[in-house]
Structure 1
């Protein structure tokens, strides 16, 4: 599964420099087919309150309601194909944004009025606008309607949660990650079948999706080769339909999904994870997959957040400290090493100042109390936003964010 995912990411990366047709008239005095361009000074700088990390880029939702992104070729939504090693404005999203979600090579945002806009790669319909043409700036997802409260993005699919508790999904569907009965890419939102109506939590992994109800019951659908659906089974052949997660110790309050694993925050803050564990992403100090929930070791029962990346996981503690575990070949755990960790370790140099976390494929980012964003891990496409393309095993400050 890891090899397949790596090939998918490589394929998407190799085609991202050819995002055709160009849906922008913006011109830049730089090489838009891949060279790093200087970030324009648009005056939209502001303090961050949320961050979302994809495979080769990341985005911050600002306190002003605007969005700024940084990273890979054609992924930041500024209307160009430029690689941006520091944060730039997303075109047309200077204010009014309520939520953001960065996926493999695309990003989606919920804006005021409950509508969704997406940008980036669209080869599998992950922008949800009815075609498969990539877009260098946000486009509307008309089929999502006007009552969306949040959105989540996987490797090449996205899903929206609506005010009435319903879920709709679009994009890649080779593992039934859209929740329907038939495989095949779907460039328009379709309802997920067989779910309860009172859903309040939503999370997309690489090739699977999960949701939770108001009373804390969790449901998942899509790929299940490593038990990432949490129903006690693992199967290399995906089957359509959502299944209920078994063995949770309490009601689910938050969910997160990665390449082949899923984690939940249950009760007042216990963390439980299930699925692929070859690199220690479950945090239980083993390398054994689990098709039912297990607990990461050494964490208090009052954790505030949990975020799953590609075979690694990070969590935010009650005092504002960050801990990570799992795959660490690019330094994505932020502990100053490249040693894989089967149990949680502290992220260095952050203290107890973190208010939000996000984990991607090879990198991780945190929003600090002062509104700065700090990122660490792989940086080949500028996804750390520190103005370079050098990997970091400890947090670096994202450039292009700050006081207005």
Structure 2
């Protein structure tokens, strides 16, 4: 839409000939006014939403807050956060207008800006070239990373590291991308999960398609034939899948019936089958025994967890590596943290209690070597596992913790990254704690503050916003 402005004394015809769609009035001092047909129009003036009033003057509608952090260029209104996502060393949020904002490590372009411009982004930055996002998933490590978004159209767009074809474009080049590219061949996607160097999606019929690194079979193909999978390829033996969880080198799927099937590396028992470390990948996907009616699943680097039980009574069951206490089983290990395999590794789902009574959860998230949940009863966050960067708890530097309840009450969502954790609070704000080496807490600070800290949106300006007239 082309907008033009006129001084009240200026001939309307002259401006109309310039191809204006909407002609707005300005006073003699060129302060903007509204035309009579624009009374219901909203616009952004910095981070303030303005509305044309009955007096044909622009009036402040709302100043955007932590709960509604950004004034949208498309709607002119303050948008709320609908999803939080923590990756290896970067973080993203989806807003209610379907836009994506990211920050943290940007060495591979995973935040959405060229690394040559900024290898670290310490406050939320709008992602260019993408809209209508439903969900976002982040992968990678504390060195590189990639990001993918599930769109309203059922397509998937990815950006960031591409060293193992984890962007799924099928191109011979493995160059990183800082702008989203649509993954070819995916239609009707309903779920998405990213590992360290691979990605998987649920497509029509509940089938699963994966791409990226496959040296351990984590993309569902024979690694003797395909070390990497350049384009989305269906995984045999899976249908009716509802949810995915991708770890560093393994992947799991939950069916609508509540069964969990895993494939890839089982060197730590993370696929939930015996024997541990069988000397080769688990292929085709095999069902994890001992799980009845799984409600949700999540994967860390080398461990996996699921919830099971009636709504309001779901308990956490975990399997895989336990050297950092990430299973919450309360087992004492002597080999150090992290260790991929030791006598503490568990292939059988074990309830996470750490010697306490069981607790019901409403959310589940796994980081590299730690696990977090949201308590069903109190909406407080409970985390356990590796705490070397305070990603579990801020009051102690002990590297391993059993189940510990944080002081973050009223959490609606939780997401665990490599060495940081983020939540969406009941008042709509986003709070993060843990490592801030690359600015992944979003506080805008360049120090090693471990949080918890509210994400700073004070300088957030939508990508397509233009200055107010």
What's the TM-score once normalised by structure 2's chain length? 0.73
Deviation at 1:300, TM superposition (A): 4.5
Moved more, 124-133 or 231-240: 231-240
State the partner residue of 1:312: 370
Q: Residue deviations 1:271-308, cap 9 Å, x none?
A: 10000000100001114210111011136553111111
State the partner residue of 2:96: 63
Mapping of 1:77-156 within 5 angstroms? 77-79=112-114, 81=116, 82=118, 83-93=120-130, 95-104=131-140, 105-131=145-171, 132-144=174-186, 146-156=187-197
Match of 2:208 among 149, 163, 167: 167
State the partner residue of 1:212: 254
Q: Residue deviations 1:241-286, cap 9 Å, x none?
A: 21111122x2111110011100001122111000000010000111
Match of 1:75 among 110, 121, 133: 110
Task: Give me the whole-angstrom Cα distance separating, in 2, the residues matched to 1:279 and 1:143.
Answer: 39
User: Is the 1:334–1:394 contact (alpha carbons within 8 Å) kept by the matching residues of 2?
Assistant: no
User: Is the 1:66–1:96 contact (alpha carbons within 8 Å) kept by the matching residues of 2?
Assistant: yes
User: Is the 2:70–2:457 contact (alpha carbons within 8 Å) kept by the matching residues of 1?
Assistant: no
Gaps of 5+ in 1: 1-40
Q: CA RMSD in A?
A: 2.0
Gaps of 5+ in 2: 1-68, 73-77, 334-343, 463-469
User: Is the 1:334–1:395 contact (alpha carbons within 8 Å) kept by the matching residues of 2?
Assistant: no
User: Is 1:289 the equivalent of 2:325?
Assistant: no
Mapping of 1:364-403 within 5 angstroms? 364-400=421-457
SS of the residue aligned with 1:142? coil
Task: Give me the whole-angstrom Cα distance separating, in 1, the residues matched to 2:99 and 2:251.
Answer: 27
Q: Residue deviations 1:49-82, cap 9 Å, x none?
A: 2111111101111122211111112221145542
SS of the residue aligned with 1:164? helix
Deviation at 1:335, TM superposition (A): 3.7
Task: Give me the whole-angstrom Cα distance separating, in 2, the residues matched to 1:342 and 1:42.
Answer: 37
Deviation at 1:340, TM superposition (A): 3.1
User: Which structure has the greater CA radius of gyration?
Assistant: 2
Task: Give me the whole-angstrom Cα distance separating, in 2, the residues matched to 1:158 and 1:194.
Answer: 18
Structure 1: which 4+ aligned runs deviate by more than 6 Å? 401-404
User: Is the 1:47–1:371 contact (alpha carbons within 8 Å) kept by the matching residues of 2?
Assistant: yes
What's the TM-score once normalised by structure 1's chain length? 0.84
SS of the residue aligned with 2:205? coil
User: Is the 2:387–2:401 contact (alpha carbons within 8 Å) kept by the matching residues of 1?
Assistant: no
Task: Give me the whole-angstrom Cα distance separating, in 1, the residues matched to 2:284 and 2:245.
Answer: 16
Task: Give me the whole-angstrom Cα distance separating, in 1, the residues matched to 2:122 and 2:300.
Answer: 25
User: Is the 2:70–2:79 contact (alpha carbons within 8 Å) kept by the matching residues of 1?
Assistant: no
Moved more, 155-164 or 74-83: 74-83
